[in-house]
Amino acid sequence: MQGGQRMSLEKTQYLTQLFSFYGPLLTAMQQRYFEDYYFNDLSLAEISENAEVSRQAVYDNLKRTTRLLEDYESKLNLNRNFLAIEQLSQQALSLIDKQNYIETKDTIRKIRQIIEEN
C-alpha cells in the first residue's frame, strides 16, 4: 500500500471515530451523506443521484461536515480523551495481571486526571 493510500485509510478511520462522537450534532442531511459515503461506500455520484442534487453539492456538504467534526474534536477532545483512557486502562489491567500495584496506581491517577480535566 502506498503512503497516500495509507493516509487516506487513516483519515477515514479518524473521521468515522469523530462521527461516532459528534454525529448527533450534525444535521440529518450531513449524517446521511457522511454515512452513505464513509459507511455504505457510495460514490459522490450515487449519493447525488439518490438525493437528487449535484455531485458538487454532496462534495461540499462532505467537506463542510469533515471540517465540523474536526472543529468539534479540537474544542471538546472526546475522541482523544477516549483513546488515551482506553490505552491507560489496558495498561492498568496489564499491570494488575502482573501484580504491579504501584505502577497500577500511577496509571489510574493518569486516567483520573484526564477525566477531571474535562
Residue 34 sits in the same domain as residue 86: no
Tens digits of residue pLDDT in 41-52: 999 999 999 999
Residue 33 sits in the same domain as residue 61: yes
Q: Whole domain around residue 66: which residue ranges?
A: 3-75
Predicted pLDDT at 83: 92
d(CA 61, CA 53): 11
Residue 62 sits in the same domain as residue 110: no
8: confidence class by pLDDT, cuts 50, 70, 90:
confident
Residue 24 sits in the same domain as residue 65: yes
For the chain, count helices (H), then strands (E).
6, 0
pLDDT at 32 over 60: yes
Considering its fold, how many domains does the chain have in total?
A: 2
Show the cell assigned to 88: 491507560
The mean pLDDT of the chain is 90
Predicted pLDDT at 89: 87
Of the candidates 85, 57, 67, 51, the residue with the CA atom closest to the CA atom of residue 18? 67
